[in-house]
Amino acid sequence: MPLLITGSGTGPGVGLPPDMKVRLILVDLGDGRTVAIAIDYPGSTDDVAFDAAIAAATPIIESFDFHASEPPP
């Protein structure tokens, strides 16, 4: 069964086919806001290749620094 992630009606929706490997990281930004970070390795069903892609992407994701946005002028 495919995974379907839908927005709140004002944001995007995303669907994934049943054979696609993806690592989904949800970050709670507070104030009812959440950001999703998705890591995939398109076209691969190989667990070793997928794990290597996750290992390569993890330090980059861990370096992200989220800040409160400034209101528009």
Average pLDDT over residues 45-72: 84
Which amino acid, one-letter code, is at 55?
A: A
Q: Are the C-beta atoms of residues 45 and 55 closer than 8 Å to each other? A: no
pLDDT band at 63 (very low <50, low <70, confident <90, very high): very high
Judged by DSSP in three states, 48 sits in helix
Distance of alpha carbon 40 from the chain centroid:
9
How confident is the model at residue 2, as a pLDDT? Answer: 47
In whole angstroms, give the CA distance from residue 71 to residue 37: 24
Count of CB atoms situated within 10 Å of the CB of 24: 13
Strands (E), 9-73: 14-16, 22-30, 33-40
Full-model pTM: 0.63
pLDDT in tens, 5-53: 555 566 666 667 777 788 888 888 887 878 888 888 776 678 888 899 8
